[in-house]
Amino acid sequence: MATVDLSYIRNLFGDSLKSDGDAEAYRVLLVMVLARSTDADCYRHPAEIEAVQKVIKEHLDEDISEEDIQSVATTDLYQSAPLEKYISRLAPKLSIEQRKNIVHGLMEVLVSDGQVAASEVEYFNSVVMALRMTYAEVVGLC
């Protein structure tokens, strides 16, 4: 079961980062970005939940429940700082491949219900910017 220890994120704003930050940062960001995307258009479509579960399984080899996705998507953590702030803080710890995996997984979730709302496009763009990715990196040119 993919449960995300959100205390890792809270520690980002203190001095206690773990030495295995890269793997944990990737895991936490992947789950947070994908889970939060299910609420980007204010409607959590069942196809989006299934897409999150599929991407998490493919990239982390873990199962995640619908309840865990909802919990991460609606955590009070986002009230203290927007998700983009957490992404920006963790982005330097990730390889370009890990960043691409997050973005491509996000694209898979956003198109899974057959339509992409303007708010989902805005969310996608904010994630890409927070990950500090170029257009070329997003589309796979480099």
pLDDT in tens, 117-138: 999 999 999 999 999 999 999 9
Rounded mean pLDDT of 73-80?
82
Nearest CA-CA partner of 131 in 101, 73, 87: 87
Least confident piece of the model among 5-14, 55-64, 98-107, 131-140: 5-14
29-40 pLDDT per residue, tens: 999 999 999 998
Backbone angles phi, psi at 113, to 5 degrees: -95, 5
Q: What is the pLDDT of residue 4?
A: 59
Place of tokens 């796979």: 140
Q: How far apart are CA 20 and CA 42, in angstroms?
A: 34
pLDDT at 98 over 90: yes
71: exposed, middle or buried (Cβ count in 10 Å: 0-12, 13-18, 19+): middle
Amino acid code (one letter) for 63: D
Longest Cα–Cα distance of the chain, Å, equals 43
pTM of the model: 0.85
